[in-house]
Each structure stands twice: as structure tokens, then as C-alpha cells.
């Protein structure tokens, strides 16, 4: 229990299935009405305070759903999420506001993050007011101003009284990060926070994100499909494929020494990682990922894997620990 309490967040076998209603006549004449889309299919991990987990994977693999589950913008089908040992469901039930002060989220598109009808000051102070922080509007405004100037948005007055459409993507994303940190959460999810931004400001935004997280000792899940920025930000990295982690471990260990064929393929296709010692051959994987509906019993990656064997078809492989907390869901790693 004490070990558990040290974890800022502990996720155990988190599952999110969406059910679809569809009539399908299968070849043997049976009619199945309900289908399950396995969006997140048994994800587990833990993070200490201030630790960062990078989640990488291609579009549609369930990264964003995972992010939303963690901050309860989606309800999980089963599994548990604990913040400092307290189940998030319970925390949320007891007080929705208290939960929001624990877990926050940074969204992908800064242009859509803010209601276009209100100024930044109105939006930020409204959040504070909701959480009963600060006695008056002026006091709350001063708090926002202070936070903004600390984060390098100087002068804050220049930004506060503008509408979202009057600011650039980079400026908005800084404000978005500030907004999520306004309540000093224990944990935040950053869902592809820089993918919509110009390359020239990405580094700045990522540095700011790291800074504020370190200052507040906030644990973070950093969702991305960009291996380079994930490597820069994360302490741990998880590779996701069709709703499951296929490889998980300390960042440098996983990226230097990938074991899962999918991770290997991803890294071999990431041009800028060539500085990582030896030259690699580019591994091509073909085809689309299979549908997350009615997945068979075998390994999900089977259809695209270049190392597949017949036995892979019959059972989904368990994690094997290859040392130093590096886990791989593939039995043929050597």
C-alpha cells in the first residue's frame, strides 16, 4: 500500500470498449448484433510524481482515448486508475471539482481549446471562480497575470484582454498549458500538444511544458506520434498498437534497444534518429492496422509483422521483461 501511495498515478488493466449495434450475417447464418470496438484494451502503467510517460503510436491506436480516460472525459469499461492510491472514480464521485484539481489535460488543437466568444482573461478567471480560488475578479485576474508572466508571456496585459482568434497557435498553446496548470494538478495529459504548431515554436512549447511540470512536480502522460519530441520529454516510453502497449520501458532503453517488431519498424522509419549509433536498415511494414472490432485471439500485429510465426496466431503474447523495467509483448525478441 505504501509503495502504491508513492505513485502519482497507477493504471491497472484499463479497458475501453465502444459497442456498436450492427446487423451482420456471418457465413454460417448467425446474426450478431453487438460489436465491440476495442479502443483501449488492457493498459497498465505507473508514474511517480514529476515523471513523464511518452505514448507513441499511429493514428487510431487509442492514444487519445487513453488520454481522455485518464482525465475522465471518457468513462472506462473496466480497470482502475488511482491517483496517490485513491481510485479516480471515487475521487470524481466525491467531488468533481476536486478531481479536476488532480488531473488536467492539454489538448491538441490550441485554436479549438478556447471558446471564441470570450477573452483569455474571462476564460481563465472563470476557471478560478469555478474552483473558488481568489475572492474577487481583480484578485483572480492578478493571479492569472502573475502566472502568465512567470511562463514568459510578457506583458500579460497584452494577451489577457484578447480573444483567442487574435493570438497565434504558439501563444494559445502556452496559454492552454497555463490553463491546465492553473489548478496545480498532480497529473496532466498532453495530447499531441505540438502537432498543430509550426515547427519553429515546437521546441519552445515543449520546453515550457517540461519547465512547468518540473516546477510543480507534476506527472505527465505525453501522447504523440513523433518519436523525437517524445524522446526529448519522456522518462518512460510506451509504444501503443491497437489499444495495447506492445513495448514499455525507460525511454533511452526502449529507443536504443527496441525489441518488438513494431517498435523496430517505427524507429527504423524515423529519419532523425540516425545519430543513434549504428545505421539501421529501414523496415517496411505494409497495409493498414487491422480493425479493432472483433480482434482474433492472436497477436494484433500478426498481419503486418515481418517476424511472424504460426504460433503468433493462436494467443496474444504476454509481456516479457527483458531487464531494467523494459517490457515487450513479443516472445521472439532475441
Q: 22 CB contacts (<8 Å, ≥6 apart)? A: 33, 35
Q: Which of 97, 154, 272, 293 binds other proteins (CB under 8 A)?
A: 97
Please tell me whether residue 33 adopts helix, strand or coil conformation.
strand
Please report whether residue 321 would count as binding other proteins according to CB under 8 A. no
Q: How far out from the chain centre does Cα 167 lie? A: 26
Please report whether residue 71 would count as binding other proteins according to CB under 8 A. yes
Q: 319 CB contacts (<8 Å, ≥6 apart)? A: 248, 327, 328, 329
DSSP 28: T
Please report whether residue 179 would count as binding other proteins according to CB under 8 A. yes
Please tell me whether residue 290 adopts helix, strand or coil conformation.
coil
- What is the separation, in whole angstroms, between the first and last Cα of the chain? 36
Q: Which is nearer to other proteins, 124 or 267 (CB)?
A: 124
User: Least distance (Å) from other proteins to the CB of residue 105?
Assistant: 5
Pairing of strands 187-191, 103-106: parallel
Q: Which is nearer to other proteins, 54 or 185 (CB)?
A: 185
Q: Which of 73, 203, 272, 293 binds other proteins (CB under 8 A)?
A: 73
**51 touches 236 (CB < 8 A):** yes
User: Least distance (Å) from other proteins to the CB of residue 59?
Assistant: 17
Within residues 99-158, the interface with other proteins by CB under 8 A covers 99-101, 104-105, 107-109, 112-119, 126-127, 130-131
Q: 214 CB contacts (<8 Å, ≥6 apart)? A: 50
Please report whether residue 315 would count as binding other proteins according to CB under 8 A. no
User: Least distance (Å) from other proteins to the CB of residue 163?
Assistant: 5
Please report whether residue 75 would count as binding other proteins according to CB under 8 A. no
Q: Which is nearer to other proteins, 70 or 328 (CB)?
A: 70
Please report whether residue 163 would count as binding other proteins according to CB under 8 A. yes
Report how far residue 123's alpha carbon sits from residue 73's, in angstroms, rounded to the nearest whole number: 20
Binding residues for other proteins (CB under 8 A): 68, 71, 73, 96-97, 99-101, 104-105, 107-109, 112-119, 126-127, 130-131, 163, 165-166, 176, 179-180, 183
Amino acid at each position: 500500500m505504501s509503495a502504491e501511495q508513492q505513485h502519482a498515478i497507477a493504471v491497472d488493466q484499463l479497458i475501453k470498449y465502444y459497442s456498436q449495434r450492427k446487423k451482420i450475417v456471418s457465413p454460417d447464418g448467425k446474426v450478431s448484433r453487438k460489436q465491440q470496438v476495442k479502443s483501449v484494451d488492457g493498459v497498465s502503467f505507473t508514474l511517480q510524481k514529476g515523471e513523464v510517460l511518452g505514448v507513441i503510436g499511429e493514428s487510431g491506436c487509442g492514444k487519445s482515448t487513453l488520454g481522455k480516460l485518464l482525465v475522465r472525459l471518457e468513462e472506462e469499461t473496466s480497470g482502475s486508475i488511482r491517483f496517490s492510491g485513491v481510485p479516480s472514480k471515487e475521487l470524481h464521485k466525491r467531488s468533481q471539482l476536486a478531481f479536476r484539481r488532480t488531473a488536467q489535460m492539454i489538448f491538441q488543437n490550441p485554436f479549438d481549446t478556447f471558446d471564441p466568444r470570450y477573452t483569455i482573461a474571462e476564460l481563465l478567471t472563470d476557471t478560478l471562480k469555478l474552483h473558488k480560488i481568489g475572492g474577487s475578479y481583480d484578485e483572480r485576474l492578478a493571479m492569472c497575470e502573475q502566472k502568465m508572466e512567470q511562463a514568459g508571456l510578457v506583458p500579460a496585459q497584452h494577451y489577457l484582454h484578447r480573444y483567442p482568434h487574435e493570438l497565434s497557435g504558439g501563444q494559445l498553446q502556452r496559454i492552454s498549458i497555463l490553463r491546465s496548470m492553473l489548478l496545480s494538478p498532480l497529473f496532466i495529459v498532453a495530447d499531441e500538444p505540438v502537432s498543430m504548431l509550426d515547427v519553429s515554436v515546437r521546441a519552445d512549447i515543449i520546453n515550457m511544458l517540461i519547465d512547468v511540470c518540473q516546477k510543480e512536480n507534476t506527472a505527465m502522460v505525453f501522447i504523440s506520434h513523433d518519436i523525437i519530441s517524445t524522446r526529448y520529454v519522456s522518462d518512460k516510453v510506451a509504444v501503443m498498437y491497437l489499444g495495447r502497449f506492445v513495448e514499455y520501458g525507460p525511454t533511452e532503453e526502449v529507443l536504443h534497444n527496441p525489441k518488438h517488431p513494431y517498435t523496430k519498424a517505427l524507429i527504423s522509419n524515423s529519419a532523425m534518429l540516425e545519430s543513434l549509433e549504428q545505421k539501421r536498415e529501414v523496415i517496411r511494414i505494409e497495409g493498414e492496422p487491422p480493425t479493432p472490432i472483433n480482434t482474433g485471439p492472436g497477436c494484433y500485429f500478426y498481419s503486418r509483422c515481418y517476424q511472424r510465426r504460426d504460433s503468433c496466431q493462436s494467443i496474444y503474447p504476454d509481456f516479457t521483461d527483458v531487464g531494467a523495467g523494459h517490457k515487450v509483448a513479443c516472445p521472439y525478441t532475441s
